[in-house]
Structure 1
Amino acid sequence: MQKVIIPEEVSINLRKDMERIWDIRQPYWYPLFDCSREDLIAFNSEYIESKEKLNDIITLLKRHGVEQVIEFLETGETYNIQLSDLYPYYCYNGDFTGGEGFWTSQNMNWIIYASHEGTITFGGEWIVNKIKSLWSDWKSNLEWDTKNQ
């Protein structure tokens, strides 16, 4: 996995844009804190954390034209990564010293958020609709979600 660190001065502006676009007003996001956006869905992380679901997510993003992903980590680092290296889960690709993260692309028309509470949130009307049509059992894995019940 190759990560290219984004310089702090660029990262600060990217993070501000992400927070403005996605109504992120706290260090933690939906479903841990309310969000005015309706195009969100939050799953229990156990439901999402599998090789099959990861492949599905990467395939959905690839079909939507995504090649590069911006990774915002709780530790403050921001990286550009290849879509094939996406690992949108708590603990940074198996590194248990990690924490929360946000993943999006340059145009920020989708987002993924992994929380310390065992939730993974997807944002963006197109990706939420694709996930609902792809995963037939999605309704039974929304313990924390208040927007899709």
Structure 2
Amino acid sequence: MESNTVHWASRRYLKARYEELRRGYRQLPNDGRQADGYHYTTEAKQIFPRYNVVAAILVEVERLDPDHLPGIDVLTHALLAAPEAANSPFTTPRQDEVEAGAIADERRLFVANVRRWVAQPDLDIDPLPYRRVLTPAESSAWRTSLQRRWGVRNGWWHPLLSTSVPHDVLVLTGESMWEDDGVDQVRRVLWELGRRRVVEVSEYGADYLLDAAIMAPRYAGAEALWSDERHDWIAYASHEGTVAFGGALSTGLATSWPEVHSWRWPGWHEFGHLERP
């Protein structure tokens, strides 16, 4: 049994399980709320704690470096310990009996699956792209370097800084990364630059080192910044519906993406802002 195989199985299962539970929750009437619009229904409390703890378990699993996994016995021990170590702001508040039971059950389910995978000598799992949670020291170092190199302030970059947007910074609307082929264009430029892995630093939650092939510079509930070890490009997705690019990535997108100008951010005046935050 290869360690990579079980690690891929764990990541695939957790990603699929999260999406399955999220779909189930979206099908609940009234967004899972009781008639008062405030309290959750019992059915909702049997679902949302599960996807929250699944997300937390995935973070623990992805702390392991796919390039340097331990032997299968050590890896199995780490995976079996991951559910109990997995916590987040969404799993630690006081829960009632239904929520606590759902979380405990989801932890047990992952453990059971790990034992099942390890017991299958012919387990065959398709590989997954590289993604690893950064250590606290790595995250801190990256935040410092982004501040020094690109002027990032408190996790913000252009156009949310009080200074004017430099002429070589490309600011697009956030929709550009959700519609058309914006994300593919970003990945293509990075590929042509020979960049295979990027760092993703988020407003909250885990920060990652990941394959550029799965980089998605979008605002999905948390602001985020992207760069790589050469520090010659940056991307920033903001809560104000913008995504900004600097350095080699800005140049590459401006020169090789024919539709890029149709996605240019029109500026604060279009959104009724009198001044930038």
TM bucket (normalised to shorter chain) is 0.7 to 0.9
Query: In 2, are the aligned partners of 1:44 and 1:144 still within 8 Å (CA)?
Result: no
Query: In 1, are the aligned partners of 2:158 and 2:165 still within 8 Å (CA)?
Result: no
Whole-angstrom distance in 2 between the partners of 1:54 and 1:48: 5
Q: Aligned partner of 2:229: which letter?
A: Q
The answer to whether residue 179 in structure 2 is matched with residue 41 in structure 1 is no
The verdict on how the C-alpha distance between 1:33 and 1:83 changes in structure 2, with shifts beyond 3 A counting, is same
The answer to whether residue 156 in structure 2 is matched with residue 28 in structure 1 is yes
Equivalent residue in structure 2 for 1:127, among 216, 238, 249: 249
The verdict on how the C-alpha distance between 1:13 and 1:37 changes in structure 2, with shifts beyond 3 A counting, is farther
Q: CA deviation at 1:50?
A: 2.9
Q: Which has the higher strand share?
A: 1
Q: Counterparts in 2 of 1:52-131, with a 5 A limit?
A: 52-91=181-220, 98-124=221-247, 126-131=248-253
Query: In 2, are the aligned partners of 1:90 and 1:114 still within 8 Å (CA)?
Result: yes
User: Residue by residue, what CA displacement relative to the aligned partner does 1:69-123 show, whole Å, maximum 9, x if unpaired?
Assistant: 10101105211001111111011xxxxxx31101111111101100011100001
SS at match of 1:89: coil
Match in the other structure for 1:94: none
Equivalent residue in structure 2 for 1:4, among 128, 132, 147: 132
> Percent identity between the aligned chains?
27
Query: In 2, are the aligned partners of 1:23 and 1:37 still within 8 Å (CA)?
Result: no
Query: In 1, are the aligned partners of 2:197 and 2:211 still within 8 Å (CA)?
Result: yes
Q: CA deviation at 1:3?
A: 2.3
Whole-angstrom distance in 2 between the partners of 1:35 and 1:17: 19
Q: CA deviation at 1:35?
A: 4.8
SS at match of 1:28: coil
Larger Rg: 2
Match in the other structure for 1:95: none
- TM-score, normalised to structure 1, is 0.81
Whole-angstrom distance in 2 between the partners of 1:137 and 1:37: 21
Structure 2's unaligned 5+ residue stretches are 1-128, 269-277
> CA RMSD for the aligned pairs?
2.1
Query: In 2, are the aligned partners of 1:74 and 1:100 still within 8 Å (CA)?
Result: yes
Query: In 2, are the aligned partners of 1:111 and 1:123 still within 8 Å (CA)?
Result: yes
Query: In 2, are the aligned partners of 1:104 and 1:112 still within 8 Å (CA)?
Result: yes
SS at match of 2:181: helix
SS at match of 1:130: helix
